[in-house]
């Protein structure tokens, strides 16, 4: 699996607004401006979340740069892309895997259904009751298991 493919799967399977909220502990809304979490932005919100065919994207007007869910994992967690991808991939059905492979082969990047469900808070982690691996597991479990049928 090449990195580009792994990131594309992560970006489409993990809703970025929910992921940012979960990792950073403050709300993010698609279609709304926000403080860019990827640079020192505290004065005027410099970024906005968009939903497109590749998943949810954060565009930072100051940096003139786009970020996706895979970037959240690499910037704010210790999980590797491979690690996150493996967990997601193992939960996809054979049909979903085939769809991803086909779309990758044809050069087409089209989202199936972005899974909406997500666990609500990181409280157990903050309290030291969960390890980092548990947190990743719970994030992805709640994300991927949602509406596979
Ligand atoms: Zn920025």
pLDDT tens figures, 95-131: 998 888 887 766 544 333 332 233 334 455 556 666 6
Q: Phi then psi for 47, rounded to 5 degrees? A: -130, 165
Flag whether 107 is in a domain. yes
Cα of 47 from ligand 1 centre, angstroms: 7
Residue 113: per-residue pLDDT = 33
Cα of 95 from ligand 1 centre, angstroms: 37
Cα of 50 from ligand 1 centre, angstroms: 15
* Residue 103: half-sphere exposure toward Cβ, Cα within 13 Å: 18
By the CB criterion, residues less than 5 angstroms from ion ligand 1 are 36, 38-39, 60, 63
Flag whether 149 is in a domain. no
pLDDT per residue as tens digits for the range 55-81: 899 999 999 999 999 999 999 988 999
Q: Which of 38, 35, 104, 88 is nearest to 67 (CA)?
A: 38
**Domain around 130:** 3-144
**Which residue intervals of the chain are DSSP H helices?**
3-13, 16-24, 69-76, 81-91, 94-105, 123-126, 132-144
Specify whether the CB–CB gap between 113 and 96 falls below 8 A: no
Cα of 14 from ligand 1 centre, angstroms: 20
Residue 47: per-residue pLDDT = 96
Q: Which of 40, 41, 39, 37 is nearest to 49 (CA)?
A: 37
Cα of 76 from ligand 1 centre, angstroms: 14
Flag whether 134 is in a domain. yes
Cα of 130 from ligand 1 centre, angstroms: 30
Residue 105: per-residue pLDDT = 66
Rounded Cα gap, residues 82 and 42, in angstroms: 32
CB-based burial label for 76 (10 Å; 0-12, 13-18, 19+): middle
**Which helix (DSSP H) or strand (DSSP E) does residue 48 occupy?**
strand 47-52
Cα of 71 from ligand 1 centre, angstroms: 12
Flag whether 19 is in a domain. yes
Q: What total number of domains does the chain contain?
A: 1
């Amino acid at each position: 699996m090449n990195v580009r493919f792994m990131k594309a799967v992560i970006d489409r399977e993990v809703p970025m607004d929910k992921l940012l909220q979960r990792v950073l502990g403050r709300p993010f809304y698609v279609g709304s401006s926000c403080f860019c979490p990827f640079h020192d932005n505290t004065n005027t919100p410099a970024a906005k979340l968009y939903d497109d065919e590749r998943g949810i994207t954060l565009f930072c007007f100051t940096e003139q740069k786009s970020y996706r869910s895979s970037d959240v994992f690499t910037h704010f967690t210790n999980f590797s892309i491979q690690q996150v991808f493996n967990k997601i991939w193992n939960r996809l059905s054979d049909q979903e895997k085939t769809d991803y492979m086909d779309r990758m082969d044809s050069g087409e990047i089209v989202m199936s259904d972005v899974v909406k469900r997500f666990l609500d808070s990181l409280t157990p982690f903050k309290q030291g009751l969960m390890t980092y691996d548990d947190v990743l597991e719970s994030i992805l479990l709640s994300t991927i298991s949602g509406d596979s049928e």
